[in-house]
C-alpha cells in the first residue's frame, strides 16, 4: 500500500502561492475488500453499537456531513463505504485518522479554513468553490464533509451546494440553523446568500435535488 501526498492537486490562480487543498491518496494493490470484510471480527462484534460522528447527517445521495470523526466513529464510517473525506480544518490530520484512511482506501481532500468567530469572520470564497468541485465529482462519492463541529464551515459548504440545487434561501438558512443552533452566525448566512454559483452550473450534479 502506498500513500501519495499531492499538495497541488487542484488548479490555483496564477501568481497565487497559497496552498488551497492538500490531498492524501491511498493506492492499494491487490483486491479491495468490501466494508463488511474490512471490519476485523465483524461476526464476533455483531452486537457492538455503531457510533456516528457529531452532527452526522446525510446531505444527498453519496454525500454526508459531520463534525470531526474520532476513533470511536471509525466502525460506523466503514459502513458508508467512503471513497473520500473533505476536511475543512487547517490543522494536520490526526495520525489515527490517517491510518484509518490508509486501511480503508479513502482519499482525503483538506481545505484549510480557519475557524473564525464573529465579528472577524473571513470565509474564503475560492476555497469553498474548489471544495464544491470535489463534492460535485461523483468519482469521489460516497464522500464525507466535516469540520470541527460540523456547524459553520461545513454548513457554509453545504449551503452553497443547496444554492446549486436551487433551494430557496429560506430553506438553505433553515438547514444551516438546524446544525448551528444557538451558534448560528449572521456572517455565514450572508456569505451563502452572496455566494455566486454561476461558475459551477456547467458541472454535472447527479443528485436527487438537482434536476433542471
User: The domain 50-200 is classified under which CATH number: 3.40.640.10, 3.90.190.10, 2.40.40.20, 3.40.50.2300?
Assistant: 3.90.190.10
CA dist 113 to 4, 110, 148, 170, 196, Å?
A: 23, 9, 11, 25, 19
Q: Give the pTM.
A: 0.76
Neighbours of 29 (CB within 10 A): 7
The rounded distance, in Å, linking the Cα atoms of 172 and 59 is 12
Q: What is the DSSP string of 52-68?
A: PPTT-EEEETTEEEES-
pLDDT in tens, 104-144: 999 999 998 887 665 556 788 999 999 999 999 999 999 99
Q: Is 147 a catalytic residue?
A: yes
pLDDT, tens digit, for every residue of 154-198?
A: 999 999 999 999 999 999 999 999 999 888 888 899 999 999 988
Q: What is the pLDDT of residues 29-58, one digit of tens each?
A: 333 334 444 445 444 544 578 999 999 999
Of the residues 21, 87, 147, 156, only one is catalytic, namely: 147
Amino acid at each position: 500500500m502506498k500513500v501519495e501526498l499531492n499538495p497541488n492537486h487542484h488548479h490555483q490562480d496564477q501568481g497565487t502561492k497559497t496552498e488551497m487543498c492538500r490531498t492524501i491518496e491511498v493506492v492499494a494493490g491487490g483486491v479491495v475488500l468490501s466494508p463488511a470484510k474490512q471490519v476485523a471480527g465483524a461476526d464476533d462484534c455483531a452486537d457492538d453499537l455503531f457510533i456516528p460522528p457529531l452532527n452526522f447527517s446525510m446531505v444527498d445521495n453519496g454525500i454526508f456531513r459531520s463534525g470531526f470523526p474520532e476513533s470511536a466513529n471509525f466502525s460506523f464510517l466503514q459502513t458508508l463505504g467512503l471513497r473520500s473525506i473533505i476536511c475543512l480544518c487547517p490543522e494536520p490530520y490526526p495520525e489515527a485518522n490517517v491510518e484509518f484512511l490508509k486501511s480503508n482506501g479513502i482519499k482525503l481532500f483538506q481545505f484549510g479554513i480557519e475557524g473564525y468567530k464573529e465579528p472577524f469572520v473571513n470565509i474564503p470564497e475560492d476555497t469553498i468553490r474548489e471544495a464544491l468541485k470535489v463534492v460535485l465529482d461523483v468519482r469521489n462519492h460516497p464522500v464525507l464533509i466535516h469540520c470541527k463541529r460540523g456547524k459553520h464551515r461545513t454548513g457554509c459548504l453545504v449551503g452553497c451546494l443547496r444554492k446549486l440545487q436551487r433551494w430557496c434561501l429560506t430553506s438553505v438558512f433553515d438547514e444551516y440553523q438546524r446544525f448551528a443552533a444557538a451558534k448560528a452566525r449572521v456572517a455565514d448566512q450572508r456569505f451563502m446568500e452572496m455566494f455566486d454559483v454561476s461558475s459551477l452550473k456547467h458541472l454535472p450534479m447527479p443528485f436527487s435535488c438537482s434536476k433542471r
